[in-house]
Every structure is written in structure tokens, then in C-alpha cells.
């Protein structure tokens, strides 16, 4: 087998990453609780309201549980499963500032969008924080928001996609592929938001008018997140080689595909035409 390794350059800038260095977990998965605390230490809450959907039981891997339970924020906790909603309701039964809702959030305006669900609550239009984590159409849900403009958006991105790739899955709730961080940044700028921090698979955006308070001169993706290994190229003979991080979220666990697993041309059709004899239909470019 040939030698293939990728030199994974880390272009992060410490002065750009100071917010995410405060990562710590109380209920969150990858340090989001600490990052959120640091963000609101910098910009201060305006109304102490937060929203999370796909809230599960309101506690497990939650980005808002700490805010609601420990800091007294009002929380709109939206869950589509009746069984999990019962657990959520039980977990917050003694907290009048918790507002469980049984609903499936989609991206059809006037039907099932987050705007439509929030319109049934007392949640302010400039709610302090919205956490979007639905393992798929997160991008489309955020894009659909028009009436509500959160001060801070925490949104899940697909961490297997390299920093310089814009990828957005089909607009279909039944698909679970996600969107890249680059795609989220593009959408954020369209909606007038700026990136201030990342964790393993969550991006933290603030409204552009709040961004100067963070003093981050370079909030480019590479300055805030180490790029992931993801390369594809071919040899002179058409053999395709790939290098990627292990495949996650699959039945086999972290599957490491062979470097030559993807071949577009069968072996018998792979040929290398050097500069002496050109391939049929091709011009010899030897000079």
C-alpha cells in the first residue's frame, strides 16, 4: 500500500478562541454550558429567555437546562415525543419558569416553523438564546426564522466536514446529514450574525451589533476551529485515494475506511499515458 498521511495544520488563533476556552459541562455535551455563560458575561442577558427544541427530557445533553434550573431563565422547551415530553414535564414540574411544549418544529412558515411555535408563547422576539440541535435540518430551521431574532444562536453543524466546504443537506426532515460550519457561517452573515465560538459540533453566533463587544479581530473559521482531515485525490493512472476521519454515527461504530475504498474506474481501465504516447483523443503536452 502507498503511504498516505495528512499534515493537519492548526491555524486557530488563541486571541480568537478565548470564548470557547471557557467550555465546561453541567448538562451540555461538549462544554456548551461554559461557553454560553462566558458569552452572556460579555453581552449581558436582555430578557433571560431561552429556547431549545428536540429538548428530549430537558436535562440530558441540554444547552439550556443550566440556564433554566440554576440561573432562573425562562425556557421554552419543545419536544415532539409525547413520552419524552412527560419526562421533561416531570423534570421541571417545580419550576414555573420552564415552559414545556409538545410540538414538532419544521421549516414551513405558517405551518410548523419555530416562529409559529414561539408565537404561542410569551417568548420575546429578541429572545436571548435559541439552541438548534435536531441532527439534520438545523440549517433550514434557522433559515426559516423571520419574526424572532435571537441575540445568540447555538446551532449544531456536521463536524466531519472540512472548514472550507459548504454543504447543506436536502430540505427534508427525514434526512440526517446536517450542514457544514462554512454553510452556517454563510447563513449567519445573510441573517446578520457573527461567529464567536465553536465546540466539537456547535457554533455560537451573536447578532452583528453585539459582535464588537467580544473584541475578536479574526472570527474566520480557521481562526476558531481546527480543520478536519478530509482529502480526495487521484494518481496518474486514475486510482482514487481518500483520507478522512473515522465514520461516526454508524452501526459499526468509528469505521476507518481504507484509503482506496472509492474507485470510479475499474482496474483494467486505469492506465497512465506518459508524455511519449498520448491517450486516445488526447494531445501530447510534452512541449
- pLDDT at residue 287, as a whole number: 38
Q: Are residues 192 and 262 in the same domain?
A: no
Read off the pTM. Answer: 0.90
Would the pLDDT of 285 be above 60? no
Listed residue (206, 195, 268, 280) closest to 237, CA to CA: 268
For residue 83, what pLDDT is reported?
Answer: 94
In angstroms, rounded to a whole number, what is the distance separating the alpha carbons of residues 179 and 135? Answer: 9
Are the CB atoms for 144 and 182 separated by under 8 Å? no
**pLDDT for 185-210, tens place per residue?**
999 999 999 999 999 999 999 999 99
Residue 286 lies in a domain: yes
- Between 18-32, 43-57, 258-272, the lowest mean confidence (pLDDT) is in 258-272
Query: Residue 130: its pLDDT value, please?
Result: 98
Distance CA 1, CA 60 (A): 44
Out of 208, 224, 240, a domain closes at 224
Domain range for residue 235?
229-287
CATH number at residue 124: 3.40.50.150
Q: What is the DSSP string of 265-284?
A: S-GGG-----SSSPPTT---
Q: Is residue 34 part of a domain?
A: yes
- The answer on 236 and 219 residing in a single domain is no
Contact 236, 247 (CB under 8 A): no
Q: Give dist(CA 193, CA 209) in Å, integer.
A: 8
**Among the residues of the chain, which ranges form H helices?**
32-43, 65, 82-91, 114-118, 138-144, 181-190, 221-224
Q: Calculate mean pLDDT across residues 9-23.
A: 97
Domain count, the chain: 2
Are residue 281 and residue 220 in the same domain, yes or no?
Answer: no
Q: Is the pLDDT of residue 183 over 60?
A: yes
Residues 214 and 159 occupy one common structural domain: yes
Q: Are the beta carbons of 108 and 93 closer than 8 angstroms?
A: no
Q: What pLDDT does residue 281 have?
A: 52
Mean pLDDT, rounded, for 216-228: 96
pLDDT-derived band at 117 (thresholds 50, 70, 90) equals: very high
Cα–Cα distance, 96 to 108 (Å, whole number): 30
Cα–Cα distance measured from residue 214 to residue 199, given in angstroms and rounded to the nearest whole number: 17
Q: What is the DSSP letter of 17?
A: S
Range name among 60-69, 73-82, 263-272 with the lowest pLDDT average: 263-272
User: pLDDT by residue (tens digit) across 134-162?
Assistant: 889 999 999 999 999 999 999 999 999 99
Residue 275 in this model has a pLDDT that exceeds 70: no
Q: In this predicted model, what pLDDT tens digit does every residue of 230-264 receive, in sequence order?
A: 889 999 889 999 988 777 766 656 778 889 988 99
Tell me what the pLDDT averaged over the chain comes to: 91
Amino acid at each position: 500500500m502507498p503511504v498516505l498521511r495528512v499534515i493537519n495544520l492548526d491555524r486557530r488563533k488563541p486571541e480568537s478562541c478565548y470564548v470557547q476556552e471557557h467550555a465546561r459541562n453541567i448538562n451540555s455535551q461538549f462544554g456548551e454550558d461554559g461557553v454560553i455563560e462566558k458569552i452572556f458575561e460579555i453581552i449581558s442577558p436582555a430578557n433571560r429567555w431561552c429556547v431549545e427544541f428536540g429538548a428530549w427530557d430537558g436535562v440530558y445533553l441540554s444547552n439550556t437546562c443550566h440556564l433554566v434550573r440554576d440561573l432562573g431563565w425562562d425556557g421554552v422547551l419543545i419536544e415532539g415525543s409525547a413520552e419524552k415530553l412527560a419526562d421533561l414535564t416531570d423534570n421541571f414540574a417545580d419550576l414555573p419558569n420552564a415552559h414545556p411544549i409538545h410540538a414538532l418544529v419544521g421549516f414551513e412558515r405558517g405551518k410548523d416553523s419555530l416562529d409559529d411555535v414561539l408565537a404561542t408563547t410569551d417568548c420575546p422576539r429578541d429572545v436571548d438564546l435559541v439552541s438548534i440541535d435536531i441532527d439534520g435540518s438545523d440549517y433550514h430551521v434557522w433559515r426559516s426564522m423571520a419574526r424572532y431574532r435571537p441575540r445568540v444562536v447555538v446551532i449544531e453543524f456536521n463536524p466531519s466536514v472540512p472548514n472550507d466546504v459548504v454543504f447543506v443537506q436536502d430540505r427534508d426532515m427525514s434526512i440526517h446529514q446536517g450542514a457544514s460550519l462554512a454553510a452556517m457561517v454563510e447563513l449567519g452573515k445573510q441573517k446578520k450574525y457573527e461567529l464567536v465560538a465553536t465546540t466539537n459540533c456547535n457554533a455560537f453566533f451573536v447578532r452583528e451589533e453585539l459582535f464588537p463587544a467580544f473584541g475578536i479581530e479574526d472570527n474566520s473559521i480557521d481562526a476558531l476551529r481546527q480543520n478536519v482531515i478530509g482529502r480526495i485525490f487521484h494518481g496518474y493512472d486514475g486510482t482514487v485515494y481518500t483520507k478522512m476521519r473515522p465514520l461516526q454515527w454508524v452501526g459499526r461504530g468509528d469505521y476507518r475506511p481504507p484509503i482506496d475504498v472509492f474507485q470510479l474506474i475499474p482496474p483494467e481501465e486505469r492506465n497512465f499515458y506518459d508524455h511519449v504516447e498520448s491517450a486516445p483523443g488526447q494531445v501530447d503536452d510534452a512541449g
